[in-house]
Amino acid sequence: MSHNTFGHLFRVTTFGESHGPAIGCVVDGCPPGLPLREDDIQRELERRRPGQSRFTTQRQEPDAVRILSGVFADDAGQQVTTGTPIGLMIGNVDQRSKDYGDIKDKYRPGHADFTYDMKYGIRDFRGGGRSSARETAMRVAAGAIARKVIPGVTIRAALVQMGPEAIDRSRWDWDEVDRNPFFCPDAKKAAFYEGYLDAIRKDGSSVGAVIEVVAEGVPAGWGAPIYGKLDADIAAAMMSINAVKGVEIGAGMAAAILRGEENADEMRLSNDGAIRFSNNNAGGILGGISSGQPIVARFAVKPTSSILTPRATIDRYGNETEILTKGRHDPCVGIRAVPVAEAMMAIVLADHFLRHRGQTGR
């Protein structure tokens, strides 16, 4: 059974574990002729890389990516994609497997230890093995390639809530996102998060977050009806990110409390004939197909389950016991989920662009 591949025409397969020698991916179906250098991918990886602030895990991984295949110099000497599978690899260099010796036979509540053991009867306990979000580095790498397939689309994500503390949306500034360690678009709230998260970290605890992803420049018509809905694929992509427990598109859960006349985004024509919507409760998708409005998805990330506070659990031999996880962990995994969310959105949109072009020729 293989469930490590995402996408149809733009297909990403990842492999590797947290404490194995390397992680990697194969990107298949990428069109030929797109300029692609390791630097292009490295830039994106830098944003997800651990150990960059006291608010993320102190595991020091340079995340240096190597392109193993699928590129060649074109007639002008520029390195471009060839249309063949692109193999990418990142070595794991800062594993500290001994940190996990104490939990070898115990299940961390809230983590995947119990379910992996139930399913496979064997579990790589070092750093969570395959269930570790180390895997998401490869999604970010693949996402960097996906962005090149859809250069007219701008994809940005931001942390909009940490625990119960939401940003003030009237202060939203995209430029702020890369100025603070939280990818937060509200400078004032970001300053507040410093002390807030410090206290949680020092308590040996953790906290959840809400992330918002916005894709602008998607023309009307991408996506498909029924089983190929763009919103369904975006939801699957976001939900596949570690620790994500809820996804919404546009008004999402709040749509349930709106009246029909409030929820339906009214349509008008501008003087130049362009279509104007009064609002974007639909999150840029109607009937599974993009409307030309910005695509907006939001998701909830649960608090990190590996915490220093002792919790009740059982071991693999059926005994009740207690567990606390030493290791190095993000006190709020939602922070580093931000670049991962952008990557997954890029992968879905690149796939749907190719599918749309394949069916309609446009």
Ligand X SMILES: Cc1cc2nc3c(=O)[nH]c(=O)nc-3n(C[C@H](O)[C@H](O)[C@H](O)COP(=O)(O)O)c2cc1C
Provide the binding-site residues for ligand X, judged by CB under 6 A: 57, 111-112, 128, 131-133, 136, 241-243, 302, 304-306, 329-330, 333, 336-337, 340
Q: Cβ 317 to ligand X, closest distance in Å? A: 22
Q: Cβ 62 to ligand X, closest distance in Å? A: 17
Q: Cβ 56 to ligand X, closest distance in Å? A: 8
Q: Cβ 3 to ligand X, closest distance in Å? A: 14
Q: Of 8, 2, 10, 7, give the one whose Cα is nearest residue 85.
A: 10
Closest to ligand X by CB, 71 or 244:
244
Q: Cβ 33 to ligand X, closest distance in Å? A: 33
Closest to ligand X by CB, 142 or 243:
243
Q: Report d(CA 113, CA 191) in Å as an integer.
A: 35
Closest to ligand X by CB, 19 or 111:
111
Closest to ligand X by CB, 18 or 81:
18
Closest to ligand X by CB, 133 or 142:
133
Closest to ligand X by CB, 95 or 242:
242
Q: Cβ 296 to ligand X, closest distance in Å? A: 20
